[in-house]
């Protein structure tokens, strides 16, 4: 009998952990979902944080076609640390701030150029078990982080959704930006052989109109958000920017180019032919000359003719061969200009150091300490092979036979 009761009590004790599974449950009505954070620098190096909170009722109602009110609310707080600023915000918000759904962190250029502020901020994010370090991190250009997170957008009800979708869209279609998370940034800072990059974001138009409800009631807004350039991070702080085609050259080297548009000059006419890559592959390798590393970049690219705004015979293999050579020249020029730009900044954002490390670990031990200085004078060779796989749904321009 005693043995039976002992077994029953033992079973009950073993069941306790299962019965207490909901000890930390949180009611949705008690949470304020932080969708984006804007971090600016204030006086005495205080963090000025803007919390973009979603208003679920307005978002769901708006999707149904009859929403009232704005989809987001933005609260501001200050603090000597990220934690202090977050706790101070509770004085203004009636719900507990919840960070598990934060998709974007925006930092101002002032914060990004201060190594101490950046590293302390990253430590807070990486240490918090509720905060996801897969969150996108971007830098506000010529505007404050607050202005970015308070801007209202038309097509996407939540501004944070517009930013994340826009980065993925431009990565897929333009090739001048790529998705970069807090994890990516931290890995780049603590690692060696490759420095991290971040996306820049700009508020274009009338900034004073960007956060007003009237911005949602027009077919064309007075202010809008746009991805703009790649930020070069060195030793944990912003050191410079790489713009436009040079940014695209960086994406080529990193083997992240999915698609873009390459515009060519033909027989003296500018913007005559457009080619769109459909597949590309980049291979970076290291060889040694006189004991010194030399980087070889090999790119294989395939694409199609998306526009032909000049009289041209696209059925002629010789013509196609000339177009391929022009595309190769254009891609090579973009890559060379991006490498030179990074060398001016003495910042290896391409991971050439990783390639040297794999090719010769013993030599890397000697170069590792001052690799970025060595990188500034590194010999880099570029070879591009490009192929036209198709000419669209027609060959020659439809108007080529007119007036003949």
Of 242, 210, 214, nearest to 229 (Cα)?
242
Cα–Cα separations (whole angstroms), residue 354 to 91, 181, 194, 202, 301: 48, 20, 7, 32, 24
114 plus 95 within the same structural domain:
yes
Does one domain contain both 111 and 218?
yes
Q: Are residues 260 and 374 located together in one domain of the fold?
A: yes
Residues 127-137, mean pLDDT to the nearest whole number = 93
Looking at the fold, whether 226 and 297 belong to one and the same domain comes out as no
| Same domain, yes or no: 60 and 76 | yes
pLDDT attached to residue 62: 46
Q: Is residue 12 part of a domain?
A: no
Task: Please indicate whether residue 236 or residue 313 has the higher confidence score (pLDDT).
Answer: 236
Mean pLDDT of 390-398: 74
Choose the final residue of a domain: 182, 209, 242: 242
Tell me what the mean pLDDT of segment 186-194 comes to.
92
Give the model's confidence band at 66: pLDDT under 50 very low, under 70 low, under 90 confident, else very high: very low
Structure confidence at residue 156 as a pLDDT band (50, 70, 90): confident
Q: Is residue 14 part of a domain?
A: no
- Domain holding 340, by residue range, is 246-390
Is there a single domain that holds both residue 275 and residue 231? Answer: no
pLDDT(1) > 90: no
Kindly state whether residues 165 and 184 are assigned to the same domain. Answer: yes
Structural domain contains residue 188: yes
Instruction: For residues 133-159, give the mean pLDDT.
Output: 92
Domain final residue pick, 195, 211, 242: 242
Predicted local distance difference test score (pLDDT) of residue 136: 96
Phi and psi for 336 in degrees, rounded to 5? -65, -40
Quote the pLDDT of residue 148: 95
Mean pLDDT of 306-316: 87
- Distance, in Å, from the CA atom of 90 to the CA atom of 75, rounded to the nearest integer, reads 10
What is the rounded average pLDDT of the residues 140-165? Answer: 91
Name the more confident of 65 and 229.
Answer: 229
> Which of 27-36, 77-86, 324-333 has the lowest average pLDDT?
27-36
Domain-embedded: residue 43: yes
Q: Stretch 28-36: mean pLDDT, rounded?
A: 85
Q: What is the pLDDT of residue 3?
A: 66
Is there a single domain that holds both residue 77 and residue 99? yes
Structural domain contains residue 288: yes
Q: What is the mean pLDDT of residues 280-284?
A: 96
Mean pLDDT of 61-76: 70
Within a domain: residue 395?
A: no
CATH at residue 256: 3.30.300.210
Question: Which pLDDT value is given to residue 20?
Answer: 56
Q: 402 lies in a domain?
A: no
- The rounded distance, in Å, linking the Cα atoms of 160 and 175 is 21
223 with 256, same domain? no
Do 255 and 307 have their domain in common?
A: yes
pLDDT tens-digit map of 215-225: 777 788 888 89
Residue 192, pLDDT score: 87
Domains identified in the chain, total number: 2
Helices marked H in 219-301: 244-253
* 138 and 267 inside one domain: no
Provide the pLDDT for residue 21: 55
Residue 298 token pair:
């090999």
Which residues neighbour 158 within 8 Å (Cβ) at sequence distance 6 or greater?
Answer: 35, 54, 59, 71, 72
Asked if the model's pLDDT at residue 393 lies above 70, the reply is: no
Whether residue 400 is contained in a domain is answered as no
Q: Which of 242, 274, 301 is the last residue of a domain?
A: 242
Give the residue-averaged pLDDT of 55-79: 74
The answer on 98 and 69 residing in a single domain is yes
Q: How many CA atoms lie within 13 A of 344 on its CB side?
A: 9
The mean predicted confidence, pLDDT, of the chain is: 89
Burial of residue 119 (CB within 10 Å: 0-12, 13-18, 19+) is middle
pLDDT at 59 over 80: no
């Amino acid at each position: 009998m005693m043995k039976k009761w002992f077994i029953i009590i033992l079973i009950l004790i073993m069941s306790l952990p299962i019965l207490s599974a909901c000890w930390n449950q949180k009611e949705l009505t008690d949470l304020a979902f932080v969708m984006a954070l804007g971090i600016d620098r204030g006086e005495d190096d205080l963090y000025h944080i803007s919390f973009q909170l979603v208003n679920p009722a307005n978002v769901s109602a708006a999707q149904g076609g009859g929403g009232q009110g704005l989809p987001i609310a933005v609260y501001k707080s200050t603090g000597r640390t990220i934690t202090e600023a977050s706790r101070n915000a509770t004085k203004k918000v009636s719900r507990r701030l919840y960070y598990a759904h934060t998709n974007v962190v925006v930092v101002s250029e002032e914060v990004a150029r201060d190594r101490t502020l950046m590293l302390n901020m990253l430590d807070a994010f990486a240490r918090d078990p509720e905060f996801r370090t897969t969150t996108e991190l971007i830098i506000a250009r010529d505007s404050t982080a607050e202005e970015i997170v308070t801007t209202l957008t038309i097509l996407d009800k939540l501004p944070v959704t517009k930013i994340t979708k826009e980065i993925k869209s431009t990565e897929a279609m333009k090739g001048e930006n790529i998705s970069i998370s807090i994890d990516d940034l931290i890995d780049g800072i603590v690692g060696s052989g490759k420095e991290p990059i971040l996306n820049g974001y700009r508020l274009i138009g009338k900034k004073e109109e960007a956060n007003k409800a009237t911005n949602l009631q027009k077919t064309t807004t007075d202010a809008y958000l746009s991805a703009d350039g790649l930020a070069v991070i060195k030793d944990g702080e912003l050191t410079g920017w790489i713009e436009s085609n040079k940014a695209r050259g960086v994406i080529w080297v990193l083997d992240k180019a999915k698609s873009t548009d390459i515009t060519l000059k033909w027989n003296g006419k500018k913007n005559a032919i457009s080619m769109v890559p459909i597949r590309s592959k980049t291979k970076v390798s290291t060889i040694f000359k006189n004991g010194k590393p030399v980087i070889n970049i090999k790119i294989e690219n395939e694409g199609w003719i998306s526009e032909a705004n000049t009289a041209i015979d696209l059925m002629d293999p010789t013509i196609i061969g000339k177009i391929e050579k022009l595309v190769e020249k254009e891609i090579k020029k973009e890559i060379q200009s991006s490498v030179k730009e990074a060398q001016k900044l003495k910042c290896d954002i391409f991971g050439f150091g990783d390639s040297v490390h794999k090719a010769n670990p013993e030599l890397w031990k000697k170069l590792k300490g001052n690799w970025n200085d060595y990188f500034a004078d590194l010999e880099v060779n570029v070879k591009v092979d490009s192929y036209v796989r198709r000419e669209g749904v027609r060959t020659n321009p439809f108007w080529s036979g007119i007036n003949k």
